[in-house]
Amino acid sequence: MSAWLQPEPSNWWPIVDDALMEDVGSGDITSGCLAEELMFSWKIEAQQDGFLSGVAIADYLLGPMPGDPDSAWIEADRADGDFIKRGDVVLKGKCLARRVLTCERTVLNFLMHMSGIATLTSQFVQKVEGTGARIVDTRKTLPMLRSLEKYAVRCGGGHNHRMGLYDGVMIKDNHIAAAGSIQKAVDRVKEYASHMTKIEVECETIEQVEQAIAAGADIVLLDNMDPFQMRNAVSKFKGKVLLEASGGVTLDTVRAIAQTGVDLISVGALTHSAPGMPFHLEAS
Amino acid sequence: MSAWLQPEPSNWWPIVDDALMEDVGSGDITSGCLAEELMFSWKIEAQQDGFLSGVAIADYLLGPMPGDPDSAWIEADRADGDFIKRGDVVLKGKCLARRVLTCERTVLNFLMHMSGIATLTSQFVQKVEGTGARIVDTRKTLPMLRSLEKYAVRCGGGHNHRMGLYDGVMIKDNHIAAAGSIQKAVDRVKEYASHMTKIEVECETIEQVEQAIAAGADIVLLDNMDPFQMRNAVSKFKGKVLLEASGGVTLDTVRAIAQTGVDLISVGALTHSAPGMPFHLEAS
Amino acid sequence: MSAWLQPEPSNWWPIVDDALMEDVGSGDITSGCLAEELMFSWKIEAQQDGFLSGVAIADYLLGPMPGDPDSAWIEADRADGDFIKRGDVVLKGKCLARRVLTCERTVLNFLMHMSGIATLTSQFVQKVEGTGARIVDTRKTLPMLRSLEKYAVRCGGGHNHRMGLYDGVMIKDNHIAAAGSIQKAVDRVKEYASHMTKIEVECETIEQVEQAIAAGADIVLLDNMDPFQMRNAVSKFKGKVLLEASGGVTLDTVRAIAQTGVDLISVGALTHSAPGMPFHLEAS
Amino acid sequence: MSAWLQPEPSNWWPIVDDALMEDVGSGDITSGCLAEELMFSWKIEAQQDGFLSGVAIADYLLGPMPGDPDSAWIEADRADGDFIKRGDVVLKGKCLARRVLTCERTVLNFLMHMSGIATLTSQFVQKVEGTGARIVDTRKTLPMLRSLEKYAVRCGGGHNHRMGLYDGVMIKDNHIAAAGSIQKAVDRVKEYASHMTKIEVECETIEQVEQAIAAGADIVLLDNMDPFQMRNAVSKFKGKVLLEASGGVTLDTVRAIAQTGVDLISVGALTHSAPGMPFHLEAS
Amino acid sequence: MSAWLQPEPSNWWPIVDDALMEDVGSGDITSGCLAEELMFSWKIEAQQDGFLSGVAIADYLLGPMPGDPDSAWIEADRADGDFIKRGDVVLKGKCLARRVLTCERTVLNFLMHMSGIATLTSQFVQKVEGTGARIVDTRKTLPMLRSLEKYAVRCGGGHNHRMGLYDGVMIKDNHIAAAGSIQKAVDRVKEYASHMTKIEVECETIEQVEQAIAAGADIVLLDNMDPFQMRNAVSKFKGKVLLEASGGVTLDTVRAIAQTGVDLISVGALTHSAPGMPFHLEAS
Amino acid sequence: MSAWLQPEPSNWWPIVDDALMEDVGSGDITSGCLAEELMFSWKIEAQQDGFLSGVAIADYLLGPMPGDPDSAWIEADRADGDFIKRGDVVLKGKCLARRVLTCERTVLNFLMHMSGIATLTSQFVQKVEGTGARIVDTRKTLPMLRSLEKYAVRCGGGHNHRMGLYDGVMIKDNHIAAAGSIQKAVDRVKEYASHMTKIEVECETIEQVEQAIAAGADIVLLDNMDPFQMRNAVSKFKGKVLLEASGGVTLDTVRAIAQTGVDLISVGALTHSAPGMPFHLEAS
């Protein structure tokens, strides 16, 4: 179940710490009503069916403090990527009551958001089962959450597109217009880019696809093409470059798109419109 | 139209800067295909009807650089809180092509998320029109985006609950259980809390509401009560404390809840499940 | 003795770390004269009578390193809020000589400042004993020390006013003048402010107090009123709103002010003019 | 008037920005009662006689925004180091009402603290006038304020001791005890320290002063010696090393100490116990 | 001359600011000997022949302050990538004497290091002229300087390998040993890696090269092979994958290596062992 | 062997953490090909003779995680300052394979750079053996590495000049020209500088040396003087001030310079041009 790579903790620790501080601010003025030494046994339950993502963050916020193994006990009953049903306990533990009540909302906010993305992704993935097409995400992510959101996509069975503007070249309509032509844009990139970099070109017509391949693109994005055009592109170019469909992809349309034979289908909604998946924390 | 208070820029500059850097990383390796001095005229169009939120962020990322008024030109045709229709141009401007293509996705990600929240909020607000109930948000927000998300709620006509754990006391079931009773929890808080702090108590029964009021609560949260119970609470306690309904609130149920006479209805979905509202940037 | 809430460690760790680095800079070039492995047993003694505040910071700087319980031994003989006499040992411990001599001044600077505030606060608190008035602090604090200074006020038996501009509304003369009237200022605030927020209005005359109450203020600040005016305000409004006296409060005048029946007396000097309370660290 | 060196702005910008954010937090919820575009003319008046310090910080917080010269107007009537009388206007200006009311307390907190230090320092400096002794500060400063506090000491006519543990060697009793002897401690330091570093040794007896000089100290600290001992040290060693008096220095005792002929008198109270000097900001 | 992409300023501003602060610390205690308002006309001259890199950093540190165009005047006579001769003036300007003397060393340290790298790179590039082989850098760079060092390599006519562990897969001997085989390592990577990612495999023998190509590598690194082996690899595999030579590359050996027909030659020394190229700043 | 003072870890932890993050970025996409739990035994070998520096950094990056002593095992066979021969194992250990392969390059980059500096320094130190002259470094260091580079100089047997602009006064030709004369510059400094500060003056002629001594300099820098001039300066002024030679110092010239009798010889190349000393990490 660990085929996917966890995001580097040093990438998510700061945002988790910051999220907690954003909530706590100058202090949790409610938790002071609890005795300082009071311990509290808790469990986190899913309130809806879906795919789990974010266990490591709960672990980080509610597990033992660094260097003090006795400060808390925690146990994960389920792992990231697991399908869980409403009412399933996913984590349980025990620590100072003040601490768990202060951290509760931050923990649940991460679990809700990441599991929501994993769950929506899994719905797309199931739709294209057997077609050979990969569901991939986009850069339509929320500020500073990209690593976690792209990880959640992997937990739902999806794959990742480039992480950002730095680890892959994507030449779009505006680049082409400004550079003069696909050929000129690609040539320009090859002058300065590392030999480790792949180049993708966004195309709206079959002619553009031809130009992109001639110019040396590694991947072609079929932008808002209809299934007929996509099928045409697949029949001509599959195997020469990777073909990625994009635009107008919904749970209703995705299977038809996959059946055209494209290699990849990118879906912005995975990260920008996944509804939160609810969990609650209670005494156990 | 400026009845609401903009979030302090120093609260959102860092997250906007960080979001841009998250995307750019070691460099935008595509934009190098454009001539260094090339200027580009752009416009941002809504691709769906809804309420606008986030203009200041577009302004910050695509407007003139500090101290260099000639580096860019920008004009907002619409303001935060405006209703906009599909196809409306909301902002237009001109600056270096490399800069606008590098910043494009970051700008659109903020607009999409914030306008999505404003739009969902406005749907709830319209449902309760005329009932006197206020739609309020919760702490179910995304990491480091709380100020902006709560501002987007205001742009959609909603109101805000407390900002975090620091600016209001909310005594929940777990606090009551751990403290022994509502009375004990409230007494404990009053010992140390500032006289500027209001106290809200989460109640599941009418008996608990009575105890909360006797203990000196300023606001009572009616947690997952049915409309009959809420009406009962309203008839007994309205005017003595503020009454807030919470739990199971959807676009289908919200009007019936509002008609019970509660003062406030809190809706987590405003921030955790609002679908993104799409915009695109193109040459003008 | 733990009726008060400790400030969130994540609020003071950074300022404590920064204070140490401010002192150490590129390195403590004196401590190199000591053998690297040399251990040193130390104790910290009060050099004056007063109230203690800041033990957790000494603990943090001189206690065991995270994950290395054997790196230091530390024991606090006294707790925050305790009255201590000149010569009392408040903490003792043992660790590397280089470490303790490098941290010594930073530890003592915090203890001196915080205990100085607790001590001055306790003098005001003792003066008003039996009158029912609470001594509260202000926002006249030193940069980045507000959490710790307000905690020190609590250690001395005082109470806190709002933490900052964000957790309570305080409408002052300049706001009233600019908004047009007390009524207009309060109405404007109620439009956008959360229902969790209390509103205080600064008043210089009884007429203003009346206007503030009519406008819906929760607390009224009697600004620089003489005892006769205060008594008048108390006789008319006590119980309707909280009454806070401010201005010209000294150890000589505070009891007379308290005896007017006001609920709260705010004293800026607690944080801006408390003399440091001296401690020294020596070999034990 | 610029004989003293201003602290590097990059040293104080962060603490000033942080102080403002500490106060503003998630937003100034009072200033929203003012119209967004309303301008406000203000002046800052001293409420007590004293020496001024901190004008640059007021300038930074209330002057024009970078790159927008028309956003504010500001004028300083007095300069750091000036003697000012109660009622004197020290600065005046005009900017958005919301901005000035949000920044007011932060500006005044810095002016109050720094001018308080300058004022107390000037009292010590006046006492020793004509004796040739310099009044110098210590490391008994508040967290992250050392640069500003040491600058305030210079504004009051005092001089600075070392900035921290990194820019001068000070061998104290604990170092001597741990190293074995003054000679050993000094030898050890000379092995690794830069040739740019001066060495001071804390001495409690004339014998120790002799040892320190023999070991090669550049400065000797006469720790808690009585005037008779100091005079003895002066008669024997003046001119060979610098002699610094320390311990028990008050406004009552400082002149007698200076008259012993010591070169330097260090006074911790300058920074740890200077009462704040009050200023207020009002409409002009 | 702008074929190469400048590193994102937001990537180098922080390290440049930090470098200045590292040098200035609590303040430049020498520059205080200059009158505060004194202006100073300066020029920077090369003290050796070589290739220039780092002009933008001099510009940033010695040019006009943001929002104050009159605060300084600066002019670059030469651009990054230019060949310059001993005695050539590369930049000149005028600003406050205190500012230029405080920044001088930081400016020169960057110019010296970056131009040193550009110069050494150009020597390798000249050696392989006409062979078709590209000189590329490695990850043997100095902390936090990678973007600037890799840019300097481009200024000297070299090309860049991957920026870090995140933008390209490089399977080395230890990965192969631990994964079991080249095939297994590559398969594993393809499961989770983005389709935008290229895969390079480090090979010590022709058999390994064959395995790497069979497994689907995009690039093969010929590790420490002798020219005979390289020629063999080239004859068999050129055109199927990119071939990169590595190990034992010096100015003496590089041409022979290039003549084997490899596509790329990576040279760690470009960044880890380039001698600084000296410049000095003086009055003009 | 511990005569030198280690740099404060809080000074190098951030740069080491940052260097690792610079390399890892959004994640090490190669190490994912290794099983998550796989352990790996490693050793680091020198690939060249030289002096070691940087062991603590390897320890920090590859040793046990804070609070988890069982997460890794590490052992240093050699200490900083040791002479090591090609093939010597300097450190060995065992930890998760993913972790060691991710950190490998960062560890080696520090060892390579610091040991390179120590090795070059030791060559200069050996050349001047017996002459009594100290080899000292300069401020020609790389951004944010000054503490570590100056420590590496000490590991090679050299000594340090001032750390930065803040801990010693160095009056150069530009200062003298701008201030009017050496006397004026020194007088000005003495007005504001702490009594803990030493003053060095850069002199190009014997007349300037005389002026500097008359003005009260503690150290004189003989700038680009020939051995004859230096000898002259030594014969006249040795013992009155420290004499430092600077300019044109190479391994060929340094002994002749030392034999003139100067106290100090400063060499910029120690830090700006030391070739990296190679190490490799392999399975053990």
Contact A169 B139 (CB under 8 A): no
User: What integer pLDDT is reported at residue E67 of this predicted model?
Assistant: 72
Contact E26 C25 (CB under 8 A): yes
C8 flagged as catalytic: no
The owner of tokens 């308290």 is C258
Which residues of F fall within a CB distance of 8 Å from A5?
27, 29, 31-32
Return residues 171-190 of F near A (CB < 8 Å): none
Which residues of D fall within a CB distance of 8 Å from B146?
26
At F63, list the tokens. 């040793």
- What sign results for the dihedral spanned by CA atoms C204, C210, C211, C213? positive
User: What integer pLDDT is reported at residue C253 of this predicted model?
Assistant: 97
pLDDT digits (tens, 9 = 90+) for B19-33: 999 999 999 999 999
Q: Exposed/middle/buried for E19, CB within 10 Å: 0-12, 13-18, 19+?
A: buried
DSSP at F274: P
Q: Is E144 left (phi over 0), alpha (psi -120 to 50) or beta?
A: left
**CA neighbor of A189 nearest in space, from B38, B27, E265, F28:** B27
What residues contact E24, with CB distance under 8 A and at least 6 apart?
A: D8, D10, E102, F164, F165, F166
Q: What distance in Å separates residue C139's CA from the closest CA in chain D?
A: 7
Contact of A2 with chain B, judged by CB distance below 8 Å, is answered with no
Cα D112–chain centre separation: 13
Contact E109 F40 (CB under 8 A): no
Residue D46 near residue D108 (C-beta atoms within 8 A): no
Least confident interval from A127-131, B218-222, D1-5, E162-166: D1-5
Q: Exposed/middle/buried for B262, CB within 10 Å: 0-12, 13-18, 19+?
A: buried
Domains of chain C and any CATH numbers: 12-118+275-283 (3.90.1170.20), 126-272 (3.20.20.70)
Residue A101 near residue B175 (C-beta atoms within 8 A): yes
User: What integer pLDDT is reported at residue B240 of this predicted model?
Assistant: 95
Q: What distance in Å separates residue C26's CA from the closest CA in chain E?
A: 9
Sequence length of chain B is: 284
Contact F28 E166 (CB under 8 A): yes
User: What integer pLDDT is reported at residue B3 of this predicted model?
Assistant: 52
Contact D69 E66 (CB under 8 A): no
Torsion angle of the four alpha carbons C182, C185, C186, C187, in this order, in degrees rounded to the nearest 10: 120
pLDDT tens for chain D, 284 residues long, are 344 678 888 889 999 999 999 999 999 999 999 999 999 999 999 999 999 999 999 999 999 987 778 889 999 999 999 999 999 999 999 999 999 999 999 999 999 999 999 999 999 999 999 999 999 999 999 999 999 999 999 999 999 999 999 999 999 999 999 999 999 999 999 999 999 999 999 999 999 999 999 999 999 999 999 999 999 999 999 999 999 999 989 999 999 999 999 999 999 999 999 999 999 999 98
If residue B261 lies in a helix (H) or strand (E), which one and from where to where?
Answer: none
User: What integer pLDDT is reported at residue C6 of this predicted model?
Assistant: 82
What one-character-per-residue DSSP string does C92-155 give?
EEEEEHHHHHHHHHHHHHHHHHHHHHHHHHHHHHHHTTTS-PEEE--S---TT-HHHHHHHHHH
Contact of E25 with chain C, judged by CB distance below 8 Å, is answered with yes
**Which pLDDT band, with edges at 50, 70 and 90, does B7 fall under?**
confident
**Which pLDDT band, with edges at 50, 70 and 90, does C72 fall under?**
very high
What one-character-per-residue DSSP string does D103-128 give?
HHHHHHHHHHHHHHHHHHHHHHHHHT
Q: Rounded distance, CA D211 to CA D205, Å? A: 10
Pairing of strands F50-51, D134-136: unpaired
Least confident interval from A218-227, C246-255, E174-183, F1-10: F1-10
Contact C26 F164 (CB under 8 A): yes
Query: In Å, what is the CA distance from C274 to each residue of C221, D51, D273?
Result: 23, 20, 7
Q: What percent of chain E has pLDDT over 70?
A: 99
Contact of C20 with chain F, judged by CB distance below 8 Å, is answered with yes
A223 flagged as catalytic: yes
Query: In Å, what is the CA distance from A182 to each residue of A174, A217, A226, A239?
Result: 11, 10, 22, 21
E86 flagged as catalytic: no
**CA neighbor of B155 nearest in space, from B192, B216, B113:** B113
Q: Exposed/middle/buried for B86, CB within 10 Å: 0-12, 13-18, 19+?
A: exposed
Contact of D165 with chain B, judged by CB distance below 8 Å, is answered with no
**CA neighbor of F113 nearest in space, from C64, D234, E144, A158:** E144
User: What integer pLDDT is reported at residue C4 of this predicted model?
Assistant: 66
Residue C53 near residue C118 (C-beta atoms within 8 A): yes
User: What integer pLDDT is reported at residue F35 of this predicted model?
Assistant: 92
Q: Which residue has better confidence, D29 or B69?
A: D29
Q: What distance in Å separates residue B190's CA from the closest CA in chain A?
A: 9
Q: Which residue of E has its CA nearest to D10?
A: E21
Which residues of F fall within a CB distance of 8 Å from A8?
24, 26-28
Amino acid residing at E205? T
Q: Rounded distance, CA B280 to CA C126, Å? A: 66
Q: Rounded distance, CA B8 to CA E217, Å? A: 51
Q: What percent of chain A has pLDDT over 70?
A: 99
Which residues of C fall within a CB distance of 8 Å from F69?
67
The owner of tokens 């990850």 is E139
Q: What percent of chain C has pLDDT over 70?
A: 99
The owner of tokens 């390592």 is E185
Residue from A13, A26, A38, A65 to probe the interface with C (highest C Cβ count within 10 Å): A26
Which residues of A fall within a CB distance of 8 Å from B97?
174, 178
Q: What distance in Å separates residue F281's CA from the closest CA in chain D?
A: 32
Q: Which residue of D has its CA nearest to C145?
A: D143
Contact of B27 with chain F, judged by CB distance below 8 Å, is answered with no
The owner of tokens 């040098």 is E23
pLDDT higher than 90, residue A67: no
B86 flagged as catalytic: no
Which residues of chain F carry a pLDDT beneath 70? 1-4
What residues contact E75, with CB distance under 8 A and at least 6 apart?
A: E91, E92, E93
Which residue in the list B43, B140, B198, B238 is annotated as catalytic? B140
Contact D189 C29 (CB under 8 A): yes
User: What integer pLDDT is reported at residue B150 of this predicted model?
Assistant: 97
Return residues 187-246 of B near C (CB < 8 Å): 191-192, 194-198, 200, 219, 242, 244
What one-character-per-residue DSSP string does B141-174 give?
--TT-HHHHHHHHHHTT-B---SSTTSSEEE-HH
**CA neighbor of B158 nearest in space, from B273, B265, B6, B50:** B265
User: What integer pLDDT is reported at residue A74 of this predicted model?
Assistant: 96
Which residues of D fall within a CB distance of 8 Å from F244?
195
Q: Is C54 left (phi over 0), alpha (psi -120 to 50) or beta?
A: left
**Count of other CB atoms within 10 angstroms of residue E119:** 24
Which residues of chain E carry a pLDDT beneath 70? 1-4
Q: Which residue of B has its CA nearest to A112?
A: B272
Residue A234 near residue A260 (C-beta atoms within 8 A): yes
User: What integer pLDDT is reported at residue B2 of this predicted model?
Assistant: 45
pLDDT digits (tens, 9 = 90+) for A229-251: 999 999 999 999 999 999 989 99
The owner of tokens 């010209």 is C248
Which residue in the list A223, A226, A238, A255 is annotated as catalytic? A223
pLDDT digits (tens, 9 = 90+) for C178-215: 899 999 999 999 999 999 999 999 999 999 999 999 99
The owner of tokens 């993104």 is B276
ipTM, two decimals: 0.96
Amino acid residing at C138? T
pLDDT higher than 80, residue A145: yes
Phi, psi of F116 (to 5 degrees): -60, -45
